[in-house]
Copies of this chain bind each other. A is one copy, B any other.
Amino acid sequence: MRVAYQGESGAFSEAAVFEHFGPDVEAVPCLSFDDVFAAVEAGSVDSALVPIENSLAGTIHRNYDLLLQHTASVVGEHYLHVHHCLIGHPGVEITDIQKVISHPQALAQCEGYLRSLPGVKVEPVYDTAGSVKIVRDQGDRSVAAIASRRAASLYGMAVLDQNIEDLPNNITRFLAIARQPVYPTGDAKTTLVFSARNQPGSLFKALSVFALRDIDLTKIESRPLVGKTWEYLFYIDFAGSGVEQNVSRALSHLSEYAIMLRVFGSYPRHHYSEE
């Protein structure tokens, strides 16, 4: 089984692929999210895993846009705890480090930690896993990277310090996508997007289709449609599967209020463990 992800070997998305699909799948790196969706649609991979929201950085609108532009279905979800490590050459001490490189977002998430290392300079590079490769290839033992534990072992480098992120509970939620939908029974979730006119009460009416059937929402987010000042997109996740009669009734009821409605799919629910 081949599963596409955005990034390079050692990226957090790759770790999510192995956690979700098991250690035996072939993880296929892609340069961009566009490439990930194109690979799924072309059939060059069986599935893909894309980040859809992060507990600190919020929703990744780009991947909702790509879901709308493509016909792929959502077939699963996965929560990944993101832990950053300080990674350097084997045998190096933290006090030897004079410069730290990583993706700007990783540097930002470890800003307080980095400030606690006296005199250390930081320098942004394009990728977390890539920063480990740079440290290895340049051979300068005073330079360290910030990336995942797996990136360290992949490039034969040493973990100098771990869990160096300033805020705990840095969790990224991924969606698994594939060409064919799945029809889960039991503990499931459904992801959809709809648009409604910006009229008082129109969202309330739309949400009534779930409330009247005791269907529990797990995500709701409005997004103004720029260029259409009076229209909104709404992102909704709810507990339940399209195979259940009350869910299919709610969706058909929702279509009465929605200008546009796209159900991306129902899938088995992933309960992440509190660490």
Q: Which residues from chain A sit less than 8 Å from chain B, CB to CB?
A: 32, 55-62, 103-104, 111, 124-126, 168-169, 171, 198-201, 203-204, 207-208, 210-211, 214-224, 226-227, 229, 274
Contact = CB atoms under 8 A, between A and B. Distances in A.
A220 B171 CA distance: 21
A62 B227 CA distance: 27
A187 to B, nearest CB: 14
A217 B232 CA distance: 11
Contacts of A216: 198-200
Contact of A222 (B61, B126, B220, B226): B220
A248 to B, nearest CB: 18
Counting every copy of the chain, the complex holds 2
A55 B61 CA distance: 9
B58 A58 contact: yes
Which of A203, A224, A229, A274 has the most B CB atoms < 10 Å from its CB? A224
Contact of A204 (B60, B103, B211, B274): B211
A224 to B, nearest CB: 7
Contacts of A215: 200
A28 B61 CA distance: 31
Nearest to A64: B58
A99 to B, nearest CB: 14
A203 B222 contact: no
Given A104-B104, A222-B217, A222-B219, A204 B210 contact: yes
A59 B59 CA distance: 8
A159 to B, nearest CB: 24
Given A124-B125, A124-B126, A226-B169, A208 B204 contact: yes
A104 B103 CA distance: 9
Nearest to A81: B226
A214 B200 contact: yes
Nearest to A226: B169
Contacts of A111: 32
Chain B CB within 10 Å, residue with most, of A169, A208, A217, A219: A217
Contact of A274 (B32, B124, B171, B227): B227
B210 A55 contact: no
B55 A58 contact: no
A220 B234 CA distance: 9
Nearest to A59: B58
A65 B203 CA distance: 26
Contacts of A214: 200-201
